């Protein structure tokens, strides 16, 4: 797996910390998933206080603070600066929301915030779309990771634009990429890994499941399966059927 700002993670799953039925279930879900990164919003940490922060640190995972809920570049930059002080890390998942219904990123605000934060030494993980022009601008600004959405946040729809995501992956072969948002089923995560993405980030699909711990375990296994399948060099798609049993040696009557 590619390194994220020089850090090679032990696993390809990143998991959010919001919406779980209880802190205990959240901790059990993280352990079942095999996730190597926990995403935490500054708002969530403030609401949970020291007990929540102690729980997150007790998981022994890399923490990725995010600017969830920010709608302007200024708000996102301020939140990122506060998060760096609270969580003691230069990593930041940057969200600048531009549409209230789809929760699509604001490309203009996102790029503006990225330019500021990269210049200040942040290691930015931008929540973006599959747009290649925007991706290039983010890379030019200093981003060394891209996090294209699979579908709207919390929708569970999976990978809405497979062609666009494949094209983006092919256009930036050396940039680590994480599918972020919209995954609802383990099969969605497996498909993302099969397509060549380096990790997946999800929250609602696990936290809002009837059994979050079992769903976390299922996603963890799916991520592993997808990565193994990708590395195994899958066969290409064919337009016609090809017999798996050779015709050579067949008895002709």
Residues assigned a catalytic role:
93
Annotated binding site: 154, 181-182, 203-204
Structure tokens at 34: 């095999």
Beta carbons of 212 and 18 less than 8 angstroms apart: no
Structure tokens at 192: 């993302």
Gap between the Cα atoms of 216 and 222, Å rounded? 10
Structure tokens at 39: 């995403």
The number of C-alpha atoms within 13 Å of 65 and in the hemisphere containing its C-beta is: 26
Annotated binding site for 1-deoxy-D-xylulose 5-phosphate: 154, 181-182, 203-204
Structure tokens at 177: 């990429």
Instruction: Classify each residue of 78-95 as buried b or exposed e, where b means 16 or more C-beta atoms within 10 Å of its C-beta.
Output: ebbeebbeebeeebbbbb
Gap between the Cα atoms of 37 and 180, Å rounded? 13
């Amino acid at each position: 797996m590619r390194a994220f700002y020089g850090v090679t993670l032990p696993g390809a799953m990143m998991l959010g910390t919001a919406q779980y039925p209880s802190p205990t279930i959240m901790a059990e879900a993280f352990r079942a998933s095999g996730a190597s990164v926990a995403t935490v919003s500054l708002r969530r940490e403030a609401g949970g206080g020291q007990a929540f922060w102690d729980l997150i640190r007790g998981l022994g995972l890399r923490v990725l603070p995010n600017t969830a809920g920010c709608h302007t570049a200024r708000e996102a930059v301020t939140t990122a600066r506060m998060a760096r002080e609270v969580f003691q890390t230069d990593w930041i998942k940057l969200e600048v929301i531009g549409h209230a219904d789809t929760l699509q990123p604001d490309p203009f605000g996102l790029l503006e915030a990225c330019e500021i934060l990269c210049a200040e030494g942040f290691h930015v993980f931008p929540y973006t779309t599959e747009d290649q022009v925007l991706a290039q601008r983010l890379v030019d600004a200093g981003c060394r990771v891209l996090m294209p959405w699979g579908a709207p946040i919390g929708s569970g729809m999976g990978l809405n634009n497979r062609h666009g995501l494949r094209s983006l992956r092919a256009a930036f072969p050396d940039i680590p990429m994480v599918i972020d948002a919209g995954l609802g089923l383990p099969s969605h995560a497996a498909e993302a890994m099969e397509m060549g993405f380096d990790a997946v980030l999800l929250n609602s699909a696990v936290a809002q499941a009837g059994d979050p711990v079992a769903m976390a375990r299922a996603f963890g296994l799916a991520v592993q399966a997808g990565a193994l399948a990708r590395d195994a060099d899958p066969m290409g798609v064919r337009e016609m059927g090809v017999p798996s049993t050779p015709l050579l040696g067949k008895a002709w009557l």
